[in-house]
Amino acid sequence: MSFEFISTHLDERKAQQLLRKRYIVQSATARTITVNDKSYLNFASNDYLGFGDSPVELTSAPLLGSHSSALVTGYQQPQQALEQALCSALGYEAGMLFNSGFSANSSVIKALFQDKATAQHSAIFQDKLNHASLIDGALHANAALIRFNHNDINHLRSRLEKSKARNKLIISEGVFSMDGDTAPIKALFALAKQHNAWLMIDDAHGFGVLGKTGLGSCESLINEACMPDILVITFGKAVASSGACVLGSQHFIEYMLQFNRDYTYSTAMSPFIASHTLARIKSIRDANDKRAKLNANIALFKRLAAEQQIALMDSNTAIQPIVLGCAEQTLKASEQLKQQGIWLTAIRPPTVLHNTSRLRITLSAAHSHDDIAQLVASLQKAIA
């Protein structure tokens, strides 16, 4: 019978405790969430600063829809203003907006190596723990894909030295979404220059949170001339909006305008979203109190977890995973936490490697001391 593989694959996922499902969220803030008329403390949101709870005030009311592709009539003043603000803040010549970080990441890589003749002499070097959007982009590009061990500069150096590619692109995340640790961006930049390579950084989980004024993983490098050749900023995490912006040289962005199919054939970002995002970014630059509260919450969680001998990964960011290994055990722990009023996500393969299923805890500036104490007490019961 046609398409019987669908049932087979679904049954396999279910047997392996890997079947995914959606929940209808009735309401949510950075601190709480309501599902099926029950309220929980929310430790699964990426709204790290709690800005999603704050309204954005605009002096004008931009259009909700852009009504066409950016290359037709969809590129309007609000989108240009957002691009220019990010370029000015981070020191780039040009930028282009996308409706999602996934689209930005995957399409940039595909477009950069769209020419098969060029791709034959090109290679993409990716950290083994990079986000699916980055991996998918490379898998659908025409260049060779070479993986290096997570945050291992020596392994990457060895890979680069063995490569005969003329065009080399190194890709990493600023903050890794499932482990919460950070990339050695300055060392990656230096290695890239030694090998005449480009560096691309996806800073989805760093922007807004890291840096003196929240400009992310690369803020401290702006004055050191160590910025990545391509920087991807996404707005769905600390900015509490949606969409993304790719930043680079004017030459690079011009190339993307010609060959990036996602950009060419997608309706442009909403002017309404662009205006709200720009207003939110301006607020983030001054949100030192929220960043301080978030950092205090991270330190508190790590201290309380250590007191209860709960093993954490090496992360100093808002992402604090607890690796349990077994998918079934992780699902059970997640359900037990829900019974105690704690909502967080059980992350299982293929999102993470086999036998590394985990509870992915995300902290926010919106959480209180008592919230975090309740979380740790509940974790102790759920994973004992």
Name the residue among 116, 107, 112, 113 with its Cα closest to residue 137.
107
46 counts as catalytic: yes
Residue 175 is given by DSSP the state B
- Out of 99, 106, 130, 177, the active site residue is 177
202 counts as catalytic: yes
- Bridge partner residues of 244 (DSSP): 98, 234
- Out of 45, 133, 168, 205, the active site residue is 205
Task: Tell me phi and psi for residue 173, to 5 degrees.
Answer: -100, 150
Rounded distance between C-alpha atoms, residue 38 and residue 132, angstroms: 32
How would you class 316 by CB atoms within 10 Å of its CB: exposed for 0-12, middle for 13-18, buried for 19 or more? Answer: middle
Element (H or E) spanning 283, and its range?
helix 271-285
Query: Under DSSP, is residue 25 helix (H, G, I), strand (E, B) or coil?
Result: strand
- Out of 47, 83, 127, 173, the active site residue is 173
- Bridge partner residues of 123 (DSSP): 144, 168
Residue 127 · residue 183 · CB < 8 Å:
yes
364 counts as catalytic: no
| Contacts for 74 with CB less than 8 Å, ≥ 6 apart | 66, 67, 68, 267, 268
205 counts as catalytic: yes
The token pair that represents 26 in the structure block = 């009735």
- Out of 237, 276, 290, 367, the active site residue is 237
158 counts as catalytic: no
- Out of 47, 127, 179, 202, the active site residue is 202
Residues carrying an active site annotation: 46, 131, 173, 177, 202, 205, 237
